[in-house]
Amino acid sequence: MKKIITQNFILILLIFLGYILTPDKISASAFEAGVPFLMIYPGAKATAMGGAFSAIADDATASYYNPAALANFENIEFTLIHTPWLRGLAPDMYYEFTGFVYPLKVGSIGGHVIFSYYGEVEAYESPEQSLGAWAPYDLAVTFSYGYKLRDNLNLGADVKFIHSFLAPEDILRKATGIEGGGSGTTFGVGAGLLYYPPVKGLRISAVLDNLGPGISYTSTGEKDPLPLVLRLGAGYTPLHTKHHQLTFAVDIDKILVGIINDYNEEGLNFVLREAWKHIGVDYTFFDMISLRLGYFIDKEGDREGFTFGGGIRFKGFKIDISDDHNIYSFDQGANIRYGISYVLTHKKK
């Protein structure tokens, strides 16, 4: 009997192949990497600035963008971020992020949890016979530490646990013929630095993240590599007074999976073109209201466009919102991130 699989199930298979990041055309490095949810950018402030945040990283998403920035925090901070994710593809997908920063006498610890839920899917043996329904998801738990090595140099590192659930083993076998598997577990590590050159308001960042043994979804043990990424950035604050603050930022992200083959087969121009570029600006007045604008470029993945958002801060609470739907070339519905954070005054121990 011919097997019939719902559109949502096909979508989930594509997610785990990496297409969710580049639905129209996919770059070689993104295609070869597994667990692409690790490259979905969290944070309403960061995404409003086009994802240009590794040299800024001044909220509780710092453990994601650059663990070295944790060393700058003087107070405890928590954040919760909710994103109805690409609802034009599936109406019940969402992406959740929670993070924290806790300053110590020497350095700061931080961490975050990412939960990416792809909605309920169902596979059929025939139009009348269902193989079953389930809800695929991805989960990552990260712990980070940042340390101020010198007055002008911060270092940081992180370790993450990753679990990815594609489908129940029995349903995957019946629907696709794949024996064993349906889920995978692995870990990864990363490191970052934040450098302050002798130019007032300028900082430069470098991050290497998602270095690990890969992940396998089948009993054969064949592994997909993690999306190992090199993130380079810079931030500049030319205006910082009691009432006004203006910050510019740029980032370049390059997924390093398959970079040698890309260079040998396509050349340096392709490798550089395939990198993701981010530009952002943040203007805050009276340390209370923020307006943000960004631009994101992924030429090979056919994603490019403006991002925008804003935030309000009052008595320790911060509420932020961002919208990046303009970067997609397909109907993805609302892609808005809602964030709420709380800053607690803290004396380092």
DSSP result, 35-79: -GGGGSPP-HHHHHTTT--TTT--STTHHHH-GGGGGG--SEEEE
Of residues 116 and 22, more confidently modeled:
116
Residue 111, token pair as written in the block:
């961490």
Mean pLDDT of 229-249: 97
DSSP result, 99-154: EEEEE-SSSEEEEEEEEEE---EEEEEETTEEEEEE--EEEEEEEEEEEEEETTEE
Q: What is the pLDDT of residue 276?
A: 96
Mean pLDDT of 54-82: 98
Instruction: Specify the long-range contacts of residues 286-291, CB closer than 8 Å, at least 24 apart.
Output: 286/243, 287/242, 287/245, 287/313, 288/312, 288/313, 288/314, 289/313, 290/45, 290/320
pLDDT at 325 over 60: yes
Q: What is the pLDDT of residue 283?
A: 98
Distances 107 to 65, 77, 123 between C-alpha atoms, Å: 17, 15, 50
pLDDT at 37 over 60: yes
**Full domain range(s) for residue 25:** 4-344
CATH at 100: 2.40.160.40
Mean pLDDT of 87-92: 77
Q: What is the pLDDT of residue 221?
A: 67
pLDDT at 55 over 70: yes
| Confidence band of 29 (pLDDT split at 50, 70, 90) | low
Q: What is the pLDDT of residue 321?
A: 98
Q: In the chain, pLDDT over 90 holds for what percent of residues?
A: 63
- 316 within domain boundaries: yes
**Of how many residues is the chain composed?**
349
pLDDT at 69 over 90: yes
Residues in Cβ contact with 241 at an 8 Å cutoff, skipping those fewer than 6 apart: none
Q: What is the pLDDT of residue 92?
A: 85
CB 207 within 8 A of CB 230: yes
DSSP 19: G
CA-derived radius of gyration, the chain: 21
| Confidence band of 31 (pLDDT split at 50, 70, 90) | low
pLDDT at 20 over 60: no
Q: Which helix (H) or strand (E) holds 178?
A: none
- 99 within domain boundaries: yes
Mean pLDDT of 36-65: 97
Mean pLDDT of 230-239: 98
- 349 within domain boundaries: no
CB 185 within 8 A of CB 215: yes
Tell me the average pLDDT of the chain.
87
* Interatomic CA distance for residues 76 and 94, integer angstroms: 27
Tally of structural domains, the chain: 1
* Interatomic CA distance for residues 334 and 42, integer angstroms: 16
Mean pLDDT of 281-301: 95
Of residues 124 and 183, more confidently modeled:
183
Which one-letter amino acid corresponds to residue 175? A
| Closest to 227 measured CA to CA, from 263, 256, 267 | 256
- 216 within domain boundaries: yes
Q: What is the pLDDT of residue 22?
A: 39
* Interatomic CA distance for residues 29 and 254, integer angstroms: 9
Q: What is the pLDDT of residue 11?
A: 47
CB 321 within 8 A of CB 311: yes
Q: What is the pLDDT of residue 161?
A: 98
- Quick: pLDDT tens for 90-131: 778 899 999 999 999 999 999 999 999 988 887 777 777 777
Note if the pTM is more than 0.85: yes
| Confidence band of 78 (pLDDT split at 50, 70, 90) | very high
Q: In the chain, pLDDT over 70 holds for what percent of residues?
A: 87
